[in-house]
Amino acid sequence: MEFSKKLQQLPPQFFAALVNKVNAAMAEGRDVINLGQGNPDQPTPAHIVEALQMAATDPQTHKYSPFRGIAELKQAAADFYKREYNVDIDPHTEIAILGGTKVGLVELPLALLNPGDYMLLPDPGYPDYLSGVALADVKFDTMPLKTENQFLPDYSALADEVKQRAKLMYLNYPNNPTGGIATKEFFEQTVQMAKENRIAIAHDFAYGAIGFDGERPPSFLQAPGAKEVGIELYTLSKSYNMAGWRIGFAVGNAQIVEAINIIQDHLFCSQFPAIQHAAALALNEEQTCVEELRDLYERRRNVLLEETQKIGWHITAPKGSFFAWLPVPAPYTSEQFADLLLEKADIAVAAGNGFGEYGEGYIRVGLLVDEERLREAIQRIAKLELFTEMLSK
């Protein structure tokens, strides 16, 4: 039986290919330090696990969830946004419960666009944005994220034609893969640009809790008028080490939220109610566990900066997320350098070109191993003597 044309149009799964490479190396008995993953290495906090255990013993959670999620979780999400960002949210009309925000990001073009419509995507950007493009049979233009602009798109550099034909735009700050963060002023500019060009905004806030050097990443919804033009997608995967739980939510513009709810009415029957109860507790309880996690990633980032500096590898310090965006030494391409590190140093990284055209010349490193393993990884790279000339300058 042949696959459907729609299935054949889907882009290759970038991260699946990376995992296969790493697994093949490990199957040979090699001690691979995996810096290519985006999977949190810490366990879910105990009080959240205990909440799931308790909820799972209640027979009421063994039934179907309400199609659009339980009221407790919606209220918890609204309370969370008021407490953390001073943003007022109507839990009845401005929140859609998601089985992880990847689901929302992939289904949103199906809910809002028609075949042939245009989206605007960041480049480099999360590769799975392209899955939604393919499934909805839409087209896209890209917005370059460059070091000299702190990895923010320059709206003034976009052609008027590009802005006027776009109906939906994705942003993601703190940014995967660059580690850049947005400012409130940038989000205000975004709202203005969206209103002028009638573009819906979807802000992927997956790493919202992870900002460094005392900077708290702002929410897009804090910008005046943001709810008039867009939504934000918040996942518990990163803030609470709940990646495998698959729970998150979209929040903001009521019409966009309703579009998501309608398409999900046909695709899903929401999430296991016990997971939703535990997620509500995670959002409601004291956030010490989130603060401790952020501090852990900042310590790891600082180790990475210290060790790369020692070998002459000059990198831009990430301001948020749990990723670092490292320049590739000449004469290698991103993919060549990533393959070299795996072959010669048993280190897995994500090649930057997998995130888009403007990712060429970089690799993405995850701060998802302990400090000693990070030190060891850079020491292994030092033995390749790729940065000797830079160190001597």
Tokens of 383: 């033995």
Kindly state the average pLDDT of the residues 41-53: 98
Residue 172 has pLDDT above 80, yes or no: yes
| CA–CA distance, 347 with 253 (Å, rounded to integer) | 43
- Position 295 scores a pLDDT of 98
| CA–CA distance, 151 with 249 (Å, rounded to integer) | 25
Kindly state the average pLDDT of the residues 283-295: 97
| CA–CA distance, 389 with 386 (Å, rounded to integer) | 8
User: Residue type at 105?
Assistant: L
Q: Which residues of 206-237 are buried (b: 16+ CB within 10 A; e: fewer)?
A: bbbbbbbeeeebbbbbebeebbebbbbbbbbb
Kindly state the average pLDDT of the residues 310-339: 96
């407490």: which residue's tokens?
A: 83
- Position 376 scores a pLDDT of 98
- Position 391 scores a pLDDT of 54
- Position 319 scores a pLDDT of 98
Q: 389: exposed, middle or buried (C-beta count within 10 Å: 0-12, 13-18, 19+)?
A: exposed
Higher-confidence position of 117 and 11: 117
Q: Which domains does the chain have, with CATH numbers?
A: 5-44+288-385 (3.90.1150.10), 63-284 (3.40.640.10)
| CA–CA distance, 2 with 191 (Å, rounded to integer) | 44
Kindly state the average pLDDT of the residues 263-276: 96
Tokens of 139: 């087209």
Residues 6+ apart with CB under 8 A from 167: 112, 113, 117, 118, 119, 198, 199, 200
- Position 136 scores a pLDDT of 97
| CA–CA distance, 208 with 321 (Å, rounded to integer) | 8
Q: Tell me if 175 sits within 8 A of 205, measured CB to CB.
A: no
DSSP code per residue over 213-253: TTPPPPPGGGSTTHHHHEEEEEEHHHHTT-GGG--EEEEE-
Residue 187 has pLDDT above 70, yes or no: yes
Residue 392 has pLDDT above 70, yes or no: no
- Position 20 scores a pLDDT of 87
Kindly state the average pLDDT of the residues 152-166: 97
Residue 13 has pLDDT above 90, yes or no: no
What is the helix (H) or strand (E) element at residue 152, kind and residue range?
A: none
pLDDT band with cut points at 50, 70 and 90 for residue 390: low
Q: Rounded to 5 degrees, what angle do the CA atoms 184, 187, 188 make? A: 85
Kindly state the average pLDDT of the residues 90-107: 98
Residue 18 has pLDDT above 90, yes or no: no
Q: What is the mean pLDDT of the chain?
A: 96
- Position 245 scores a pLDDT of 98
Kindly state the average pLDDT of the residues 236-261: 98
pLDDT one-digit tens code per residue, 217-229: 999 999 999 999 9
Q: Tell me if 121 sits within 8 A of 129, measured CB to CB.
A: yes
Give the 3-state secondary structure of residue 103.
helix
pLDDT one-digit tens code per residue, 191-224: 999 999 999 999 999 999 999 999 999 999 999 9
Give the 3-state secondary structure of residue 43.
coil
Strands of the chain (E only): list them.
33-34, 95-98, 118-123, 139-144, 166-172, 200-204, 230-235, 248-252, 323-327, 347-348, 350-351, 362-366
Tokens of 393: 């300058």
Tell me the C-alpha to C-alpha distance, in Å, between residue 78 and each of 27, 105, 300.
Answer: 46, 20, 32
Q: Tell me if 279 sits within 8 A of 73, measured CB to CB.
A: yes
| CA–CA distance, 276 with 69 (Å, rounded to integer) | 8
pLDDT one-digit tens code per residue, 62-86: 999 999 999 999 999 999 999 999 9
